[in-house]
């Protein structure tokens, strides 16, 4: 039942729903108020009323933070997704109310990101927003007529081409890393290039899981969900002994992806080597392949379960092939 009253020269209309919640709106003209009341009552009777009240009180940033608590923390790759969520929360789109998140807003975000990120990264960000919206609709009971990300075409990603760190670049990175306040940075680069460890695995590596007698380490809770034993190179062992023992038991005195990336980005600026830290894993796989390691051996050390992905990383240089042909 709708009720109308004139207040301060305007017409206020209220319509009570079955849930005892009241819908209200103010109009300048009584005829407009009557029309809105009739339409609202018909929609309520048919179960078609679009109640955006919740979506108007929560921002995209708040939704992403809720999604992190509800979903991300249950995933094995929690640190990686948290890093993406933190990045997204600093974007202008994160300040929008959920009800105002439209396909156009998502496309504008996509266009703005093209100035900073590659298509693959942008697609991952939009997918993250999409799954968060899906969580809001299905699990949190927040009404939205649709998922705006469903109407945004993902960017075409260039054919994957894994890069590697050349020997002269490696020497430059290792030499300059000694100047960093992060005394662990040199070891981290060695662990990536020599042993194929991921950034997250390096951060979580604990001294109690290092066997210095056998030059091996046990990685706990890796990205693939299982523990993994890996070999350690002689220079990694030497570098580990140089570092002080941390109170929390970590091999490197770094506990977050952001902190890690800060110091690695600083090193990139110093050296001019723009290749990401993940490139150290590509380098590991390529060098092992050229040194005669089997795919199974590389997979066991690096923790690749998808061998097709691993094959993309194993670059074999033409100069290496020519030497084999000449031997």
Residue pLDDT, tens place only, 296-313: 898 889 988 877 667 666
* Cβ contact 23:42 at 8 Å: no
> How far is 49 from 67, CA to CA, in rounded Å?
26
pLDDT at 224: 75
> How far is 70 from 129, CA to CA, in rounded Å?
14
pLDDT at 30: 87
Which residues, 6 or more positions from 219, have their beta carbon under 8 angstroms from its beta carbon? 197, 201, 204, 205, 209, 227, 228, 229, 230, 303
What confidence tens digit (pLDDT) does each residue in 189-198 have? 999 999 999 9
- Confidence category of residue 266, pLDDT binned at 50, 70, 90: very high
Alpha helices of 90-248 — where are they, by DSSP H? 103-113, 119-138, 167-177, 185-195, 199-204, 234-242
pTM above 0.85, yes or no: no
User: Once rounded to an integer, what is the mean pLDDT over residues 248-268?
Assistant: 94
> How far is 142 from 135, CA to CA, in rounded Å?
9
Picking from 103, 250, 134, 269, the residue whose alpha carbon sits closest to that of residue 183 is 250
> How far is 33 from 99, CA to CA, in rounded Å?
23
> How far is 31 from 242, CA to CA, in rounded Å?
82
Q: What is the DSSP letter of 304?
A: -
Please provide the distance, in angstroms rounded to a whole number, between the alpha carbons at the two ends of the chain.
Answer: 92
* Cβ contact 113:105 at 8 Å: no
> How far is 1 from 12, CA to CA, in rounded Å?
14
User: Once rounded to an integer, what is the mean pLDDT over residues 19-29?
Assistant: 74
User: Which has more pLDDT, 293 or 68?
Assistant: 68
Which residues does residue 97 pair with via DSSP β-bridges, in sequence order?
59
């Amino acid at each position: 039942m709708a009720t109308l009253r004139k207040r301060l020269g305007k017409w206020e209309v209220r319509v009570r729903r079955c849930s005892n919640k009241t819908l209200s709106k103010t109009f300048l003209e009584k005829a407009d108020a009557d029309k809105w009341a009739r339409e609202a009552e018909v929609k309520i009777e048919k179960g078609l009323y679009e109640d955006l009240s919740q979506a108007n009180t929560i921002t995209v940033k708040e939704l992403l933070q809720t999604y992190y608590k509800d979903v991300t923390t249950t995933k094995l790759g929690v640190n990686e997704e948290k890093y993406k969520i933190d990045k997204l929360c600093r974007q202008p789109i994160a300040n929008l109310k959920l009800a105002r998140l439209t396909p156009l807003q998502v496309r504008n975000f996509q266009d703005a990101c093209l100035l900073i990120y590659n298509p693959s990264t942008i697609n991952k960000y939009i997918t993250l927003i999409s799954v968060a919206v899906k969580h809001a609709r299905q699990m949190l009971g927040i009404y939205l007529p649709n998922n705006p990300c469903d109407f945004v075409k993902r960017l075409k990603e260039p054919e994957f081409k894994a890069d590697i760190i050349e020997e002269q670049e490696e020497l430059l990175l290792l030499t300059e890393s000694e100047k960093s306040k992060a005394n662990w940075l040199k070891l981290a680069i060695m662990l990536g290039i020599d042993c194929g460890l991921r950034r997250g695995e390096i951060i979580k590596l604990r001294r109690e899981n290092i066997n210095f007698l056998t030059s091996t380490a046990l990685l706990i809770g890796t990205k693939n969900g299982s523990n993994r034993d890996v070999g350690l190179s002689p220079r990694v062992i030497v570098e580990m002994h140089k570092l002080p023992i941390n109170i929390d038991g970590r091999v490197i005195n770094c506990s977050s992806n952001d902190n890690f990336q800060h110091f690695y980005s600083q090193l990139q600026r110093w050296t001019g080597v723009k290749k990401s830290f993940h490139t150290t894993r590509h380098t590991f796989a390529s060098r092992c392949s050229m040194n005669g390691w089997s795919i199974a051996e590389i997979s066991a050390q690096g923790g690749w379960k998808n061998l097709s992905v691993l094959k993309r990383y194993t670059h074999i240089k033409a100069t290496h092939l020519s030497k084999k042909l000449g031997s």
